Every structure is written in C-alpha cells, then in structure tokens.
Amino acid sequence: MVDVSRAEFERLVEQALDDVPAELADLVRNVAVVVEDHAPPDDPGLLGLYEGTPLTERDSWYGGVLPDTITIFRLPLLAMCGDADEVRHEVVVTVVHEIAHHFGIDDARLHDLGYG
C-alpha cells in the first residue's frame, strides 16, 4: 500500500476536480464530493461511489433535495497502487468515473472509455 496522508489524498481529489473541463464542471450541480477512508463493508474494494439522481433522470420534480454525493474511498485506492504516480492517476480515473455517473453514464460505457 502506498502511504499518502489523508490531507494529501484530499488535495489529489481536489486537483482532479479542478482538472475537469469547465464546460462539464459547470453542469455538476448540487453534488458534494467527500473522501472516506474505508469502503462499505459489503464492498471493501470499492474505490468510489455516486449516490443521487443523475442529470438524465432529473425532471421538473427535482428541486429542494439534498445534494448528490460522490465518495472517494482512500484506503482501497491506496491498496491497489504501487507508487504515488499510480495513486494520482487512479484518483483522476475514479473522480471522472463518479462524475460520469452524475451525467447518467453507466459502468459498461465507462469501461469502454477506459474509466472502469
């Protein structure tokens, strides 16, 4: 496992978010991005999780709701990486993967695009 402090890991997540093209970032609304150390016990290898209503499913009823949440799981991600460069890369892939779910893109399409 690569040793990356929580603060440094959160900085990598922020950097990945900052690198999302502005035309896409402007469309990400009502979404909170958080870092947790551990994935859920029923899926301990999970790297990220999008919880909410994708843009493709929002309609006139959508309003006054709590933010969607993107969670990036630090320890499972660090456990799969061999060095700091790989951590950086996997953080970007995971952040993009979860943002794509916000846009309604499913796992099969993300795998086809190289973000699986």
10-residue averages of pLDDT along the chain (116 residues): 96 96 87 97 97 90 90 98 97 95 91 80
pLDDT score of 84? 96
Strands (E), 1-116: 31-36, 48-51, 68-73
pLDDT score of 61? 84
pLDDT score of 113? 82
Contact 68, 102 (CB under 8 A): yes
pLDDT score of 110? 87
Contacts of 53 (CB under 8 A, 6+ apart): 62, 65, 68
